[in-house]
Amino acid sequence: MKTTSKLMSALALGVLVAGGAAVSTGVQAQEKKQEQKVSRALAKPLKAAADAMNAGKYQEALTKLKEVEGKSEKSPYDEFMINQMYGFVYVRTKQYPEAAKALEASLNSGFLPADEVPGRVKALAQVNYQIKNYDKAIEFGNRAIKGGDTDEDLYTIVSQSYYIKGDFKSTQKFVDDYVTGQIKAGKSPKEQPLQLLMSACVKLNDNDCTTKSLERLVAYHPKPEYWQNLVYSLFQLEGQTDRSLLHVYRLANEVDVLKRPDDYTEFAQLAIEAGSPGEAQAILEKGLQKNVFTDARSLDKNKRLLESAKKQAATDRATLDQVASDAAAAKTGDKDVSVGLAYLGYKQYDKAVEAFQRGLAKGGVPNEAEARLLLGIAELQAGNKEEAQKAFKSVKGDPKLERLANLWSLHARQA
């Protein structure tokens, strides 16, 4: 932030010479009707300070103000005027700690006109942030926001002040409230506050908070690194099972953020165990094509795993159409869903969609939420985005699968 220009704009101090007898801002105190004036004894020295200040002779103005300050008989209004002028000169000369002290004193005096108070409060938030007085920056920043000021700089000042202080809980709450408010108002939150929110969640070791903040970054700023961080945060969630991890791997593969050799290996092994050797074959071939297995031992292991997946896939495909026919004749839909998963692994998406739909229509599916998620994936891969969104939206009953369905839906909108 350009502190000096912002402060001068917020202060808008107009120190004028009034008839040579008094120095006045030309405004009235809120509690009194009559025009406020400086004491007669201080009129001349304050006029000299004001003349120097208005002429841009700030060091001379400071000298004269210090002389006035040293006088014993000063009224509360005299003190107000002195602090007003001090604040102006100190800002001009970039002596921000002194400016903050003087500006706060004049704000608290009771003489500052009501219409100037919001600008003064904002200026104090800015100047205190500039001098790293973060408690005061937070105090005045929050006061300005509660007063109705919507300047994004104020939200930046408060959130960063909390963060720099190490108060990550307050950072998280403040930024989350701000971002949530923007979303509810139909606005897209900017990247910087979302990054700060994620960082605060990481500092708090709050995995759920981290994941949710990454979801927002992906939603509004879908960069590859955010997708990667989000997917890997899902791996860290408590209570993951082999089946739920397999779904995370599917999403990671779809958004192309699989990087580690072990991820390709585990993905393939989980797919084989789930009855999807075609999916295992495809992911291992992708890993080999991308040269992710750089270690000789890892390369040999995954080549052997690929050969095993190929053999299982060949056996599976030879009987798949007959198995599909038998499944279609069954009274419950569990076998149809298994067939749909197989077709999905072989990238026969239209047949996969048909099998999933048939199974769900029959009922008797052990995990309906999973079947609907797989249906959405098949619809998306088949190019049916609208139907895919409907399927993702219908995933209910399992929080992990619901979250994955939301992410697949988000990806589908961005694709």
Q: Please indicate, yes or no, whether residues 29 and 151 belong to a single structural domain of this protein.
A: yes
Cβ of 231: how many Cβ atoms within 10 Å?
23
AA letter at 48: A
Please state, in angstroms and as integers, the Cα–Cα distance from residue 395 to each residue in 218, 261, 377, following that order.
Answer: 20, 31, 12
Cα angle 340, 251, 189 (rounded to 5 degrees) comes to 135
User: pTM for this one?
Assistant: 0.79
Asked if the structure places residue 153 within a domain, the reply is yes
Asked if the structure places residue 171 within a domain, the reply is no
- Can you give the pLDDT at residue 37? 82
Q: What is the mean pLDDT of the chain?
A: 90
Q: Which alpha helices (H) appear in 131-190, and where do they start and end?
A: 134-146, 152-165, 168-184
pLDDT digits (tens, 9 = 90+) for 339-375: 999 999 999 999 999 999 999 999 999 999 999 999 9
240-266 in b/e form (b: 16+ CB < 10 A) is: eeeebbbbbbbbbbbbebbeebebbbb
Domain that holds residue 87: 3-165
Higher confidence at residue 6 or residue 325?
Answer: 325
How many structural domains does the chain have? 2
Asked if the structure places residue 399 within a domain, the reply is yes
Element (H, E) at 363: none
Cβ of 412: how many Cβ atoms within 10 Å?
19
What's the CATH number where 367 sits? Answer: 1.25.40
pLDDT digits (tens, 9 = 90+) for 131-159: 999 999 999 999 999 999 999 999 999 99
Choose one of 130, 165, 200: the last residue of a domain: 165
Asked if the structure places residue 387 within a domain, the reply is yes
Choose one of 165, 196, 214: the last residue of a domain: 165
Q: Please indicate, yes or no, whether residues 281 and 392 belong to a single structural domain of this protein.
A: yes
> What's CA 260's distance to the chain center, in Å?
27
Asked if the structure places residue 200 within a domain, the reply is no
pLDDT mean over 245-258: 95
Say which residue the tokens 């921000």 belong to: 96
Q: Please indicate, yes or no, whether residues 399 and 284 belong to a single structural domain of this protein.
A: yes
Q: How far apart are CA 365 and CA 336, in angstroms?
A: 9
Q: How far apart are CA 90 and CA 96, in angstroms?
A: 6
Choose one of 165, 191, 208: the last residue of a domain: 165
Q: How far apart are CA 109 and CA 133, in angstroms?
A: 21
pLDDT digits (tens, 9 = 90+) for 322-341: 999 999 999 999 999 999 99
Q: How far apart are CA 78 and CA 69, in angstroms?
A: 9
- Can you give the pLDDT at residue 6? 55
Residue 171 has pLDDT above 60, yes or no: yes
Token pair recorded at residue 18:
């009034």
Residue 9 has pLDDT above 70, yes or no: no
Q: Please indicate, yes or no, whether residues 408 and 267 belong to a single structural domain of this protein.
A: yes
